Amino acid sequence: MIAAASIAYRKARAWEDVAVSLYLPGTETGQISRHNNARTTSYLTASGAGDHTADGASTAFTGTTVEMYWLSAIDVFSDVEGAVVFLGDSITDGTATTTDGHDRWHDVAFLRLLLGSNSDPNKAFVNEGIGGNRVTVTATQGSPAAVQRLDRDVLPRSGISHVVFFEGTNDLASGLVNADQLIAGMTEIIA
């Protein structure tokens, strides 16, 4: 159970990092939700350091990790004309990119839109890539296939105007599906 969460409301600008502070009382956390290849630095306090969710200074945050814990999504009120969701595997997730570099392929696409325009970007970008993900078969690490995650990871997002679907390499590499099965799964997602 989360005892405290720091929530401050203000306008976030394009390409701006957002910090979410959580406090978990006690010593038992049990199984946690995590994104173990987030490619973004998260800052931690020492165990037992107390509630620092409202701290404006970084002094208490002495540890770092490139995993993200507990948080699966942030819903943002925005003036943009919709959001683009990138549904994919590890290539979309950010494998082989620079930690804190914001250089995933869809980050580069966003920057090109931002730099190629005299106005603010009119779309938000949402990364729904999962390492090892497959189109039709649950991956060995347990992440559901894309045909199953569409209802969970894409359709409930606010303001969706477009979906970019980039998967299939893990399906073919696994040898568990043939081309016809892969095409059928992709067709189901597109429909």
Residues 89 and 176 both lie in one domain: yes
Residues 145 and 168 both lie in one domain: yes
Residues 66 and 91 both lie in one domain: no
Residues 52 and 101 both lie in one domain: no
Residues 106 and 42 both lie in one domain: no
Q: For the purposes of burial, counting CB atoms within 10 Å of the CB of 151, is it exposed (0-12), middle (13-18) or buried (19 or more)?
A: exposed
Residues 170 and 102 both lie in one domain: yes
Give domain status of residue 77, yes or no. no
- Using DSSP bridges, classify how beta strands 68-69 and 63-65 pair: parallel, antiparallel or unpaired: unpaired
One digit per residue, the tens of pLDDT, for the chain of length 191 reads 444 454 555 666 666 777 788 887 776 667 777 777 788 888 989 888 889 988 888 899 999 988 888 877 777 666 777 788 999 998 998 888 999 888 898 888 877 776 666 666 677 788 898 888 999 988 777 778 999 999 989 988 888 888 999 999 999 888 888 999 999 999 999 99
Show the domain range for 183: 83-190
* pTM for this entry: 0.81
Residues 80, 26: Cα–Cα separation, whole Å: 41
Number of independent structural domains in the chain: 2
